[in-house]
Structure 1
Amino acid sequence: MISRTALPLRHLTGTAKPGPPHEAPKPPASPSGPSWPVWLIPIATILALGLLIGLTSSGAKSTSYPYSVFLTKVEARQVKAVTIDSGGAITGTLANGSAFTSQIPTALGAGSLEQELRADGVQITGTQASSGGGTAAVWLVFLLPFALMVGLFLWLGRAARRAGGTGLSTVGRSRAKIIEAERPETGFADVAGYEGVKREVSEIVDFLRRPERYAAAGAQGPRGVIMVGPPGTGKTLIARAVAGEADVPFLSVTGSGFVEMFVGVGASRVRDLFNEARKRAPSIIFIDEIDAVGGRRGSGGRLGGNDEREQTLNQLLAEMDGFDQSSGIVVLAATNRPDALDPALLRAGRFDREVVVPLPNQAERAAIIAVHAKGKRIAPDVDLGVVARGTPGFSGADLATLINEAAINAVRDNRAIIERDDLDAARDRVLLGRRETSNALLPEERRSVAVHESGHALVAALCEHADPVAKVTILPSGMALGATEQLPEAERHLYSEAYLGDLLAVRLGGRAAELVVFGEGSSGAANDLAGATQIAVRMVREFGLSPELGPVGYGSQSMEFLGAQDDGPLSRPYSEATQRAVDEEVARLLRRAEQRALELLREHRAALDILADLLLARETLDGSVVREVLAEEPQPRDVSSPLIA
């Protein structure tokens, strides 16, 4: 029974659909030597194997006899002729013409054997032992497979280079995607919202278009601009829009494309990337996910400077210092981990500006939704402004998924028009997950979920500063058995103490309803308790809203907008005594919020029962139903409910 109360800001931002794709021009074929026929390699392999077998096999079939058997055949006058070399090896011919071989034991010598052979009339021939042929065969056995592998490797490399691939000579080449001046058709008009960000980067466009204006005033244009924002913010789209507005070549590469297993490849690719940019100047270099190559040097326990990533970063720093600003080269970079970047990369003269691409506000979300809704049939009664108001913390990627899920939901119902219910179902899918139709609850569990969600909804409706209730449901979705959704009336940037107090009461309203109705809590409030505790901790540690600690704030070192978690206990900048005081204040805030929720629900017990029964009957209720139940609530009745302290 996970409850969705006030929707926190989530770490994503809007993007707009890029311009229509175009087929990139084919690069000119690189000159190469005469091409080898494809059938030449297997034929050469077969011939070489045949030669190897012929050399290692004997010319005539012969039988090898032990020395004792050889002596027996000599005594039986079956041996016609023998040839004995200086090493004691015997080759000969029997009386019937068959060949044989044998070996004289070195310790016995051949003195007595010679006399016996003469006595039996055997023709004897002596020869010098020679291992030249055998040695050549052995060397051929070992070297031929290696030679075949080298030949095949070289042939594949030549074929890859002819096909425009990455042979050995192209390992150090940059893998940047080069889009010529006439190709980028994405402009600022294609980026929905983000007017502040577009104004920030418009100076880059002006510098690339009219550099003489800056030269006349003695001003220098930006050398590098780094865009910082959560994943899916649209940083790549904004970079393409800059290139499209400036009408200059756009060289795009990812940070991971520099570093591979070969040492020195990353530095070589950085040099090649900037050389390509100089050839096409004025131009824009865009490095996406620069934290993959621009991380802090010496981090992670590494010693020395031989790490491939550090060499690549050093080369990148040298290249950014080395090119002339008047050449019209601007380096754009994007990352969602600015805290992991090396300080030398962010200093003035390299990346002169840092542009934060934030989450879209309500007006920007409406513009982004309108972009993604193009080409889709939307029902006339659908208000995109209401959809934007109900999606705080959504990014452009989330909003694109929202519209797509709504269209899929319409197709499931055999419709081609997207209705309001489709958008509501799609929002639940994005926030909560897939609807679990097969996860049937027991009757007592459905009753408990209904009471729990009714408690959230009633407390939210009764608290003055809480966001209005939009929908209450007991249909399981994802990890949630039920949900209470609230829509803020306006985009909030500051949160007052009264608002945070109401937020804690709403979070604990589900558990309070279980205590009022059943007299005991359940495991369904686990997510509510975790969320409420996190809010209370920030109220005490960061916002200074605790009279016990006073106006003291211990802010987190993590980047909250990137979704980073709070620092661990080892990095706490305060003592154990202060931590004990923080824990006591957090517990006090939570107990006070729970007590307030209990008092509100006891006072409106009749409305709680009516709302729970309606949820059991309808499974999903609109926020207006909650307000109607409170308006038509009968007089409070004296009902004593047990409470677990």
Structure 2
Amino acid sequence: MIRRVHLRPRRLGPPPDDEPPGKPPQNPPPPTWWQRWGTPVLLAVLLLLMFGPSLAGDRPTSLSYSAFSARLDAGRVKSVTIDEHGGLSGKLTDGKSFTSRVPTAIGAGDLQQRLRAEKVRIDATRSGGFGSFLLGLLPFALVIGFFLWFGRRAGGGLPGGAGGFGRVKAEVIEAERPTTRFADVAGYEGVKREIEEVVDFLRDPGRYAAAGAEPPRGVIMVGPPGTGKTLFARAVAGEAQVPFLSVTGSSFVEMFVGVGASRVRDLFADARKRAPSIVFIDEIDAIGGRRGGTMPGGGNEEREQTLNQLLAELDGFDQSSGIVVLAATNRPETLDPALLRPGRFDRQVVVPLPSRAERAAILAVHARGKHLDAGVDLERVARATPGFSGADLHNLLNEAAINAVRDDRTTITARDVDTARDRLLLGRRDTSNALLPDERRSVAVHESGHALLAALCENADPVAKVTILPAGMALGVTEQLPEAERHLYSTAYLTDLLTVRLGGRAAELVVFGQGSTGAADDLAGATRLAARMVREFGMSPRLGPVGYGSTTQNYLGDGPDETAPRPYSERTQQLVDEEVARLLREAEARAVRLLGEHRAALDRLADVLVRQETVDGSAVADALRAESALPGPVNGVPARDG
């Protein structure tokens, strides 16, 4: 399917939070021989003690007294052992073992005479006794001791639950260890000012006490993944030079009810011992979700008990004790309101996606240690990556370095960066281009329609590149780069965006007289945009100024739940469908009209794409300029020199 990519500021970012730059983690010492093989060897010994006797040889055959008597008369009994209760055991002349029992009425006297007559060796034993009792209990005692030892080893030998399960496994970073500072975090000056007050309080709490001000008890950082929330927490610990207790929300919850609450108590008890200190809970939504779920039982009850204990601990410690709780989440809409009220988490700091200037600063940080060619302009790369998070930018330069290594180079060029960006956005590019000749022509016409309409529509973003080389699931791509990052979108801009989205299908209708399946992705994107214009943005005259969109910021990009009940009637839904169809029909009609008026430019650009496969925005401007013989730029794209 043909995909058109429109680069504009994203609200999302799939990678995880940035890791702080600093010294690499210390590798743990290799395990000793006993640590590696002690448990398997001990388990093997226990199994040998329990089942070894039965596996060491043949199991003795149980004979009735009549069968034993017959073998005795036949001279086949070699030896017997008789206990005080009439139990018999022994061996036959063929070496096989047997067991039997002497009937009480017969007695052992007559049997003894018969055994002597057959010259059978006779032994006597005494059953029972305290020693035999202890010997029988030895395997069970060893099994119990093994599980106790294993439980203490798993829990670190700590109290608070079975085998130490009740103790939270928090990573404690002491004052001399943090190396991350605010200087290591590029950009985000507003976020730094918000959090610097926490550092100032931990350094000099007397200033706040003198003014009668109470420091923030807790600070929660929210934002898209990859924006550096964990990095900010480590920078706070590094700047404050205090112990930093880091733990994830998922580490509180176990299969046993009550373990999570015990771990919360243990965490805050440890923080009080190390005060002043910082407690950082990453992914707090794992335990801080809204209470009152309808599913009773273990997991849900355990999570709610853990949350209740966390709320109690946040209320319980003295503010003068020097404990500050930091938390981070990508899903603030799922948190319990009681967790976010003042007095618990007093301050909510939003860590957004970086702006253009911040992206340039972040790229400069991640470019340390890499050899960049003189032609790599980080400002241009920052402009070409709207909506990228810090983790995305780190991955971008890493992919560019890998691309340079593939070509046996150590210097990263601008082409490497462009290739890495296309790979992250679209997937691996297929340079072989195995399209059929008619498909190749169709893709060129399709992408030419997108590019020409982007140049013809006044409010559309300029075209940066057009290619018909397949990448990922897309057979062709038209990339647009905004001249400035937008935060508000007018009706005129969205209308032009709809027209450009449908430009590929319109070009196929103009040139071939019919559409193709290549426009499926364009149609889906245009339909979603038109539906939001009608339902959320109030841009439909028939529906009026109403908005049915969610007001909750969702940083993970989950779409609306189609199974959830709509806040409007079926009649309103029918009206929404009619307005969406109207917007799409009008946008397609406008695209067909504009491309029909500039058919010569469309054919010229399609021919260039068939020959060159990839062109930049100046080729689009040249095609329009050659048709109209007009000098000057076309929609922000200057004429190409030479």
Give the TM-score range, shorter chain. 0.7 to 0.9
CA spacing shift, 1:168–1:70, aligned 2, 3 Å: same
CA spacing shift, 1:66–1:542, aligned 2, 3 Å: same
Aligned to 1:4: 5
- 1:2-81 equivalent positions in 2, closer than 5 A: 2-12=3-13, 18-21=20-23, 45=45, 49=49, 53=53, 64=63, 67=66, 70=69
Name the aligned partner's letter for residue 342 of structure 2.
A
Aligned match for 1:220, one of 195, 198, 214: 214
Does the 8 Å CA contact 1:158/1:167 hold for their aligned counterparts? no
How far is the alpha carbon of 1:44 from its aligned partner?
11
- 1:323-362 equivalent positions in 2, closer than 5 A: 323-362=317-356
Does the 8 Å CA contact 2:18/2:229 hold for their aligned counterparts? no
How far is the alpha carbon of 1:317 from its aligned partner?
1.0
Name the aligned partner's letter for residue 282 of structure 2.
D
Does the 8 Å CA contact 1:365/1:388 hold for their aligned counterparts? yes
CA spacing shift, 1:165–1:490, aligned 2, 3 Å: farther
| Secondary structure in structure 2 of the residue aligned to 1:632 | helix
User: Aligned partners of 2:270 and 2:77: how far apart in 1?
Assistant: 82
How far is the alpha carbon of 1:294 from its aligned partner?
1.1
Superimposed CA distance per residue, residues 26-45 of structure 1 (whole angstroms, 9 cap, x where no aligned partner): 99xxxxxxx9x979976994
After the TM superposition, which of the residue ranges 286-295 and 48-57 deviates more from structure 2? 48-57
Determine whether 1:296 maps to 2:290. yes
User: Aligned partners of 2:570 and 2:453: how far apart in 1?
Assistant: 36
After the TM superposition, which of the residue ranges 271-280 and 574-583 deviates more from structure 2? 271-280
User: Aligned partners of 1:117 and 1:304: how far apart in 2?
Assistant: 67
Q: Which has the larger radius of gyration?
A: 1
| Secondary structure in structure 2 of the residue aligned to 1:294 | coil
How far is the alpha carbon of 1:524 from its aligned partner?
0.9
Determine whether 1:612 maps to 2:611. no
CA spacing shift, 1:114–1:275, aligned 2, 3 Å: closer
Aligned to 1:185: 179
User: Aligned partners of 2:447 and 2:180: how far apart in 1?
Assistant: 46
CA spacing shift, 1:43–1:328, aligned 2, 3 Å: closer
User: Aligned partners of 1:237 and 1:205: how far apart in 2?
Assistant: 15
Which consecutive residues of structure 1, in runs of 5 or more, have no partner in the other structure? 28-34, 124-128, 636-645
- 1:246-257 equivalent positions in 2, closer than 5 A: 246-257=240-251
Aligned to 1:283: 277
Aligned to 2:396: 402
Aligned to 2:438: 444
Determine whether 1:244 maps to 2:253. no
Does the 8 Å CA contact 1:81/1:122 hold for their aligned counterparts? no
After the TM superposition, which of the residue ranges 416-425 and 620-629 deviates more from structure 2? 416-425
After the TM superposition, which of the residue ranges 432-441 and 488-497 deviates more from structure 2? 432-441
CA spacing shift, 1:395–1:300, aligned 2, 3 Å: farther
- 1:50-449 equivalent positions in 2, closer than 5 A: 53=53, 64=63, 67=66, 70=69, 133=128, 143-156=137-150, 169-299=163-293, 301-302=295-296, 307-437=301-431, 440-449=434-443
After the TM superposition, which of the residue ranges 542-551 and 177-186 deviates more from structure 2? 177-186
How far is the alpha carbon of 1:595 from its aligned partner?
0.4
User: Aligned partners of 1:623 and 1:40: how far apart in 2?
Assistant: 67
Aligned match for 2:452, one of 438, 448, 458: 458
Determine whether 1:562 maps to 2:563. no
Superimposed CA distance per residue, residues 89-129 of structure 1 (whole angstroms, 9 cap, x where no aligned partner): 6789999xx998655789xx759x99999999989xxxxx9
Aligned to 1:522: 516
After the TM superposition, which of the residue ranges 384-393 and 157-166 deviates more from structure 2? 157-166
- 1:461-476 equivalent positions in 2, closer than 5 A: 461-476=455-470
Does the 8 Å CA contact 1:225/1:351 hold for their aligned counterparts? yes
What TM-score, normalized to structure 1?
A: 0.84
User: Aligned partners of 1:551 and 1:569: how far apart in 2?
Assistant: 25
How far is the alpha carbon of 1:133 from its aligned partner?
3.8
How far is the alpha carbon of 1:601 from its aligned partner?
0.7
CA spacing shift, 1:133–1:215, aligned 2, 3 Å: same
Does the 8 Å CA contact 1:15/1:191 hold for their aligned counterparts? no
What is the alpha-carbon root mean square deviation over aligned residues? 4.4
Superimposed CA distance per residue, residues 201-249 of structure 1 (whole angstroms, 9 cap, x where no aligned partner): 1211121122111111211100001111111110011111122222222
User: Aligned partners of 2:400 and 2:433: how far apart in 1?
Assistant: 23
User: Aligned partners of 1:542 and 1:55: how far apart in 2?
Assistant: 76
Aligned to 1:639: none
Does the 8 Å CA contact 2:159/2:167 hold for their aligned counterparts? no
CA spacing shift, 1:446–1:300, aligned 2, 3 Å: farther
Name the aligned partner's letter for residue 497 of structure 1.
T
Superimposed CA distance per residue, residues 399-433 of structure 1 (whole angstroms, 9 cap, x where no aligned partner): 11111111222222233222221111111111111
Does the 8 Å CA contact 2:46/2:143 hold for their aligned counterparts? no
User: Aligned partners of 2:99 and 2:150: how far apart in 1?
Assistant: 47
Aligned match for 2:501, one of 507, 520, 535: 507
Does the 8 Å CA contact 1:70/1:102 hold for their aligned counterparts? no
| Secondary structure in structure 2 of the residue aligned to 1:298 | coil
CA spacing shift, 1:148–1:438, aligned 2, 3 Å: farther
Which consecutive residues of structure 2, in runs of 5 or more, have no partner in the other structure? 30-34, 119-123, 630-642
How far is the alpha carbon of 1:497 from its aligned partner?
0.6
Q: Percent identity?
A: 65
CA spacing shift, 1:518–1:187, aligned 2, 3 Å: same
Does the 8 Å CA contact 2:18/2:230 hold for their aligned counterparts? no
Superimposed CA distance per residue, residues 452-493 of structure 1 (whole angstroms, 9 cap, x where no aligned partner): 101100010110000000000011111111100000011101
Does the 8 Å CA contact 2:3/2:522 hold for their aligned counterparts? yes
| Secondary structure in structure 2 of the residue aligned to 1:262 | coil
How far is the alpha carbon of 1:288 from its aligned partner?
0.3
Name the aligned partner's letter for residue 560 of structure 2.
D
How far is the alpha carbon of 1:310 from its aligned partner?
1.6
How far is the alpha carbon of 1:447 from its aligned partner?
1.1
Does the 8 Å CA contact 1:226/1:334 hold for their aligned counterparts? yes
User: Aligned partners of 1:615 and 1:137: how far apart in 2?
Assistant: 93
CA spacing shift, 1:512–1:6, aligned 2, 3 Å: farther
User: Aligned partners of 1:333 and 1:577: how far apart in 2?
Assistant: 45
User: Aligned partners of 1:239 and 1:608: how far apart in 2?
Assistant: 54
After the TM superposition, which of the residue ranges 355-364 and 166-175 deviates more from structure 2? 166-175
| Secondary structure in structure 2 of the residue aligned to 1:453 | helix
How far is the alpha carbon of 1:341 from its aligned partner?
1.1
Superimposed CA distance per residue, residues 286-314 of structure 1 (whole angstroms, 9 cap, x where no aligned partner): 10000111112232522699822222111
CA spacing shift, 1:100–1:333, aligned 2, 3 Å: closer
User: Aligned partners of 1:562 and 1:80: how far apart in 2?
Assistant: 83
Does the 8 Å CA contact 1:178/1:251 hold for their aligned counterparts? yes
Does the 8 Å CA contact 1:93/1:99 hold for their aligned counterparts? yes
CA spacing shift, 1:67–1:486, aligned 2, 3 Å: same
How far is the alpha carbon of 1:326 from its aligned partner?
0.5
Superimposed CA distance per residue, residues 301-358 of structure 1 (whole angstroms, 9 cap, x where no aligned partner): 2269982222211111111111000111100000001111112111111111111111
CA spacing shift, 1:594–1:215, aligned 2, 3 Å: same
